[in-house]
Each structure stands twice: as structure tokens, then as C-alpha cells.
Chain A
Amino acid sequence: MMSEQHAHTTESQADGETIINPVRAIVAGHGAFATGVISAVEQITGRGHVFLPISNTGLCLDDIQQTLAHALDETGARVIFTDLPAGSCTMAVRRLVRSRPGVVLVTGINLSLLLDFSMQDDTDPVAAASGALERGRASMVLHGG
């Protein structure tokens, strides 16, 4: 489900004041994946507010697609991150991207990728996603064995 905060923006607190932040990307996935990974971004950088979380829990494919389309319309975001290449959110976004030039999908994401993206406020979101993709890939390393 889409989060209950105002759909165009997210809110954060600084010095006791509420700050309205534009959503720069949507994170969609299974169960609590999106809220979980965004909470990790928030814990590490305090910048979880640049993301809007969406879960596929309890939704059929058509409802997932409608929820994502609504989120894109409401936020104006042009970047969607999903968790799994074969996941239902990914399949729904692929359909949406077909009719929405300029919207990009990055699938198979991890925390390093989102952290990198979240720190690039001054970069166009699509370009930021492309750069963050490399950071996310590079972060996966096998140690020991």
C-alpha cells in the first residue's frame, strides 16, 4: 500500500520544524521491503524522505499497477526502484514504463544503491539512479571462503 503521508511530498523534522521534501523516487517491493530499506536509509543518512514506499502485499497485478501509476502521477517521480527482477511490482512497472517516456526502472536494488541516490539532491534523478546503480553493484562482495 502507498504510505499514508501526503503523496506529493514527504515530511521530516529539523530543529523542531516540519520540512516538506519532494519525493525523488518510488521504492516498491514485496512485504515490508520498501519501508524497511527506506528506514535503513533514514537511520544512516536522515534522507529516507526522498523515497515513497509501496508494497505489493494483498494486491493483484492490476491493483499493483494502479497503485504505482497513482504514485507516479501524484509525486511526479521519474525513478522507480524495485526489489526483484521477476517480482510483481517489477512486472507492473515495466508495463507503466512502456507508456511513460522518461520514467526509469531500476530492479534488484540494495541499500548501498539507495544511499548513493539519496545523497544526490543536485543531480537529475534519472542520472542519479544510473550512478547509484554502479555503486549498488560494486557493494556486493564475497569475503572469506
Chain B
Amino acid sequence: MPIALYRIDDRLIHGQVVVGWGQPLNLRFIVLVDDEVAESEWEQELYRMGVPPDMSVYFHDVPSAAAALPDYQQDPRPGVVLAGDIGTMARLVDAAGGSIRAVNVGGVHHSPGRTPRLRYVFLTGAEEQALRAIAARGVDVTAQDVPGARPVGLDELLATTLDV
């Protein structure tokens, strides 16, 4: 079964992922791609505690995630690949050799230098360029925080400026 969702979310494993997407998609595993978390047993244990017992979590840095991706993509269980920032997902898309066809921007929250695009998406110029570079590889990039929300395409996302 193909991976159900490739998601960029700076909260990583949290309610929207585990419950909001997890239940309707019947997610059974999460591939968490984060270079720092991949090196920290304590952080990994923290995230394992946040998921139900019937959901597995696998931790990778970008190179090992790219190497393992074909196996995850053939896993019969529904799964999600999760990255905490746009740069990490961009590196994974580059390394994945065209096997990632869609990327979900699920949560990139406020920080200095970022422009508000949606209430859950704030972007720097560099991050916008990185998203455009992902899309230029033929990847469908949309913003959508929860399954019931309308997916917002990249052109519309970057044309939107939110008053906050």
C-alpha cells in the first residue's frame, strides 16, 4: 500500500496526526524523519509514548529514510511519513528518486521572519522557494491541516497573506 500521507508538521507527532488523520486513514505506522530525533533515544521514547499501542513509530534521518522508503511504500499497513520542517521534506523528496508524488503542508507555525499564509502555515522566502522546488519535481504540494479542511494548492497558498 502506498504511503497515505507525506506531511510537514513542526509539531511532529500530535493530536492532528494521531487522531485527526490517524483515525480516518486507519494509520498503523508513522515514519518520523528528523535528524535530531533519530539520534536521541530519549526523544524517540517520548514520541512512542504519544501514540496508541497499535501504531508503530519508526525513526530515521533523511538518508536512512530515503533508503528505507521503498520498504515502507510496500508495507500493507496504512502509514504516514512525517517531517518537522520543509527543508527535511525537500531533502527526502530529492533523495527518494521520484517516488513521492504528493506533500501535505500540515503545520508550519509562526516564528520571526515568516509571513502568515494560513492560520497554520507561516513561511520565510527560503521556505517558499523550497516548496516551489519540491513542486517543480512534479510533486503535488498542498496545505491542509485536518482531513475535513479544503486542500490549498501551492500557488494559492503563496498568493495568500493572512492578517494576524
Contact = CB atoms under 8 A, between A and B. Distances in A.
Interface of A: 30, 58-61, 63-64, 84-88, 90-91, 94-95, 98
A91 B14 contact: yes
A90 B42 CA distance: 15
Given A58-B110, A60-B111, A88 B14 contact: yes
A87 B19 CA distance: 9
Contacts of A84: 15, 19
Interface stretch (B46-54, B86-94, B133-141): B46-54
Interface residues of B, number: 23
Contacts of A86: 13-15, 17-19, 50-52
Contacts of B17: 86
Across the A-B interface, the 8 shortest Cβ-Cβ residue pairs: A60-B109, A86-B18, A88-B14, A86-B50, A88-B11, A87-B15, A60-B10, A61-B11
A90 B49 CA distance: 10
B12 interface: yes
A7 B110 CA distance: 23
Interface in B95-148: 107-111, 119-120
A30 B15 contact: yes
B51 A60 contact: no
B109 A59 contact: yes
Given A60-B109, A91-B46, 20 more contacts: A58-B109, A58-B119, A59-B109, A59-B110, A61-B10, A61-B11, A61-B14, A64-B11, A85-B49, A86-B18, A86-B19, A86-B50, A87-B15, A88-B14, A90-B50, A91-B13, A94-B46, A94-B49, A95-B46, A98-B42
